[in-house]
Amino acid sequence: MAIVLDHVNHIYEEGTSISFQALTDINLVIPDGQFIGLIGHTGSGKSTLVQHLNGLLAPTSGAIYYNGEDINEKGYSRKTLRSKVGLVFQYPEHQLFETDVFTDVCFGPKNLGLDRKEVELRAYTALKQVGLPDECFYQSPFELSGGQKRRAAIAGVLAMKPEVLILDEPTAGLDPKGRDEILDQVAKLREETGMTVILVSHSMEDVARYVDRIIVMNKSRVMFDDAPKMVFRHYKELEEVGLAAPQITYIMQALKAKGLRVDTDITGVEEARDAILAALHRG
């Protein structure tokens, strides 16, 4: 098992009048190769949680283990950890800073002490993996479109060859086509490499379509942790905390209420179409 969180708590500004409990008694096991969706409204603790996974933040109490080692033990190498647990921030501008895209993507593997040939091979491979056109390689990252910036930021993490890829709202602000392209690419990479992927998202459709497991955060705690179909059965409770289920969930619930014998756990469009046609045929 790759990552274990054991009774993790985090308090910002502890001991002051503005202290804030961002994580409360978090206990999670994240096994190798899983595709996880992490959802929750703003302020629920999602971003704080993922920043603990590669040591950007340390817990106020509790422990975090990566492959059996406590990442906050004295002497543990954060540099090695961050080469294995890669975090792509919500705003790509926060991690793009070099004069051109290729040099930017080279930065991580170069810091690992690899020779120039290996660094450039990793950068080229990563840029190809995210589908960034060759003509963008030597442009300033700040001249790219929003979707291209996100691809470049993801490539910069992939060039480190991580075992865990964390994506914090990677499709925010993108049109549907751009969103699907990026998430399809991530799903393909996960299939090809077997890496663990943690997707932080507000889009219920995205998590329903791609992930194996959903962790729902609410008021600093884990509210639900289960397979997508099991989590979306609680759509009314999700609504109460400012979230929702995929639109398909509501459609199937409404059809069942009208007397059509359909599976209300369905969350995918194609699966819903087939189920509705089958129910109409039976009827």
Token digits of residue 130:
């995210």
Tens of pLDDT, residue by residue over 228-257, are: 999 999 999 999 998 988 889 999 999 999
Domains of the chain: 3-228 (3.40.50.300)
Residue 250 DSSP label:
H
Q: pLDDT by residue (tens digit) across 41-99?
A: 888 999 999 999 999 999 999 999 999 999 999 999 988 899 899 999 877 777 788 88
Q: What residue spans of the chain are helical by DSSP H?
A: 46-53, 78-84, 101-111, 116-129, 146-158, 176-193, 204-210, 228-232, 235-240, 247-257, 269-282
CA–CA distances in Å: residue 170 to residues 130, 187, 193: 13, 13, 19
The residue length of the chain stands at 283
Q: List, as one string, the DSSP characters of 125-183.
A: HHHHHTT--GGGTTS-GGGS-HHHHHHHHHHHHHTT--SEEEEESTTTT--HHHHHHHH
Task: Give CA–CA dist 280/268, Å, rounded.
Answer: 18
Name the pTM for this structure. Answer: 0.90
At 100, give phi and psi (nearest 5°). Answer: -145, 165
